[in-house]
Amino acid sequence: MNNKIIIAFLCFSVFGFSQKKGNKKAETIKPKAEFVAELMAKMTLDEKIGQLNLPTSGDITTGAANSSNVAKNIEDGKVGGLFNIKSVQKIKEVQKIAVEKSRLKIPLLFGMDVIHGYETTFPIPLGLSCTWDMKLIERSAQIAAQEASADGINWTFSPMVDISRDPRWGRVSEGSGEDPFLGSAIAKAMVQGYQGNNLANNNTILSCVKHFALYGAPEAGRDYNTVDMSRIKMYNDYFPPYKAAIDAGVGSVMASFNEIDGIPATGNKWLMTDVLRKQWSFKGFVVTDFTGIPEMIQHGMGDLQTVSALALNAGIEMDMVGEGFLTTLKKSLYEKKVSLAQIDNAVKLILNAKYDLGLFQDPYKYCDVNRAKTEIFTKDHRAEARNTAAQSLVLLKNQNQLLPLKKTGTIAVIGPLANAKENMAGTWSVATNMDKSISLLAGIKEVTGNTNVLYAKGSNLDYDAVFEENATMFGKTLHRDNRTSAELLAEALKIANQSDVIVAALGESAEMSGESSSRTKLEIPQAQKDLLQELLKTGKPVVLVLFTGRPLVLVQENETVPAILNTWFAGSEAGSAIADVLFGDVNPSGKLSATFPRSVGQVPIYYNQKNTGRPLGNKDGKFEKFRSNYIDERNEPLYPFGFGLSYTTFKYSNLTISSDKMNVNDTVKVSVDVTNAGNYDGKEVVQLYIRDLVGSVTRPIKELKGFQKIFLKKGETKTVIFEISVETLKFYNSGLEFAAEPGDFEAFVGTNSDTVNKIGFELNK
Distance CA(442)–CA(577), nearest Å, equals 11
Angle 641-550-391 (CA atoms, 0-180°, nearest 5)? 65
Q: What is the DSSP string of 48-77?
A: HHHHTEE-B---PPTT-GGGSTTHHHHHTT
Query: Do residues 42 and 6 make contact, with C-beta atoms less than 8 angstroms apart?
Result: yes
Q: Closest by alpha carbon to 84, among 100, 68, 99, 97?
A: 68
* Residue 218 · residue 158 · CB < 8 Å: no
The residue type of 633 is E
Which H or E element spans position 5? helix 2-13
Residue 65: count of CB within 10 angstroms of its CB: 22
CA gap 175, 383 in Å, rounded:
24
Work out the angle between the directed axes of helices 304-314 and 292-299 (0-180°, nearest 10).
Answer: 120
Q: Is 289 a catalytic residue?
A: yes
Radius of gyration of the chain (CA): 27
> Which is nearest to 516 in space by CA: 296, 89, 154, 221?
221
289, 319, 362, 462: the active-site residue: 289
Amino acid at 647: Y
CB 395 within 8 A of CB 546: no
Q: What whole-number distance in Å separates Cα of residue 387 and Cα of residue 364?
A: 33
3-class state of residue 504 by DSSP? strand
Q: What is the DSSP string of 401-447?
A: G-PSPPS-SEEEEESTTTT-GGGTT-SS-TT--GGGPPPHHHHHHHH
Quote the CA–CA distance of 553 and 550 in Å, as a whole number: 10
CA–CA distance, 215 with 225 (Å, rounded to integer): 9
Residues 6+ away with beta carbon under 8 Å from 88: 150, 151, 152, 366, 367, 368, 369, 371, 372
Residue 604 CB partners (closer than 8 Å, separation 6+): 165, 166
Active site residues: 289
